[in-house]
Amino acid sequence: MIEKSGPGHNDTASALRFLTELIAWVATPWALWSYSPILAIAAVVLLIGLPTVFGTPGDKPGGVIVPVPGAVTVLLVLLQIVAAAVAAWVAWPWWAAAPVTVLCLVVPFTELPRWRRLLRTEVPTPDR
């Protein structure tokens, strides 16, 4: 049985967030490749790597590598959303970029309960 990580998590919001992340991971290097293949690869490594390394304790099952306050996790999600929307318009025709933009406008609203919880979350400091 998969355990939910607390209030603010639901399957629809998670699916929409993940779809936005996938679009960012595809569209960003696609948009940057003609400028610099190295920059395109670096962008996708950062878009995937930052949320993998940095996370708020208790937000996702399995723990985190480097614990950060909830505000950092929210900013990382916003980075993915902005990257998806901007890169879609640079890389793809309007008929593909327009639905991506709609998705990127919807995701913050579906994320609000999670973001409220995350913004109240502080990283515990170890006792010395």
pLDDT (tens digit, 9 = 90+) per residue, 31-54? Answer: 999 999 999 999 999 999 999 999
Angle at 36 between CA 102 and CA 26, to 5 degrees: 30
Which of 2-11, 16-25, 49-58, 84-93 is least confident?
2-11
Residue 3 has pLDDT above 50, yes or no: no
What are the residues whose beta carbons fall under 8 Å from the beta carbon of 57, sequence distance 6 or more? Answer: 63, 64, 67, 121, 123, 124
Beta-strand pair 54-55/66-67: parallel
pLDDT (tens digit, 9 = 90+) per residue, 49-85? Answer: 999 999 999 888 888 899 999 999 999 999 999 999 9
Residue 123 has pLDDT above 50, yes or no: yes
CA distance linking residue 44 with residue 112, whole number of Å: 25
pLDDT (tens digit, 9 = 90+) per residue, 86-109? Answer: 999 999 999 999 999 999 999 999
Angle at 64 between CA 24 and CA 105, to 5 degrees: 30
Please indicate, yes or no, whether the overall pTM of this predicted structure exceeds 0.85. yes
The domain ranges of the chain are 11-119
